[in-house]
Amino acid sequence: EVQLVESGGGLVQPGGSLRISCTASGFTFSDHWMSWVRQAPGKGPECVANIKQDGSLIFYVDSLKGRFTISRDNAKNSLYLQMNSLRAEDTAVYYCARAIRHSYDYWGQGTLVTVSS
Amino acid sequence: DVVMTQSPLSLPVTLGQPASISCRSSRGLVHSDGSTYLNWFQQRPGQSPRRLIYEVSNRDSGVPDRFSGSGSGTEFTLKISRVEAEDVGIYYCMQGTHWTWTFGQGTKVEIK
């Protein structure tokens, strides 16, 4: 059974940094593109970033380039998102998702990131 | 970015009756590889999104056959043939043809 478990969310002050993680199981992690998708309260999902199997190709949503960094460790079946210079509008549930054929077929349960003073 | 526009935004339905959600894209969704990457997701209250349909009309494993997707170019539709209580939630279309992949605003399905 495919499982994606996010962790590391919490309350952070504006301008602060946070690193969230996702641990995958139930499939060969190194065979798949992986992604972060976020959903602000009461809003629809928003793609954040996609990373290729070996990390050699990464796509970011333009509005987040330079502040967020996606990375992965295939030996640990883990996906990461480093978030810097956080703003109130970054408050959202952040989902880890498996990407396949230009879609997301499995999602984690999400981790809530709240940016507030 | 490609804008995905759904209608209606709210859809009250009687149990056992059909429902239809429309999704329009601001650009054509045929990829250079010939495929059309239009997906539908269901998000039940308090849950993560779950994919129902990929590449316009392919149902995911475990998705009831009362759900169907159709369309082409810039106009797409999700149909539920007979709504059941467990179908309550928000439905999103999403295009994966052009990066940044984008979602519609969502259609809230509720029981009358």
- Over the stretch B29-49, which tens digit does the pLDDT of each residue have? 999 999 999 999 999 999 999
- Find the mean pLDDT for residues B72-99: 97
Apex B6 CA angle, B19 and B77, nearest 5: 50
Residue A34 is encoded by which pair of tokens?
């992986």
- Find the mean pLDDT for residues B9-27: 98
A102 to B50: CB separation less than 8 angstroms, yes or no: no
pLDDT at A65 over 90: no
A103 to B37: CB separation less than 8 angstroms, yes or no: yes
Minimal Cβ distance to A102: which of B49, B60, B96:
B96
What is the DSSP track for B2-27?
A: --EEEE-SEEEE-TTS-EEEEEEESS
In whole numbers, what is the pLDDT of chain A averaged over residues?
A: 97
Residue B48 has, within 13 A of its CA and on its CB side, a CA count of: 23
Taking the CA of residue A101 and the nearest CA in chain B, the distance in Å comes to 8
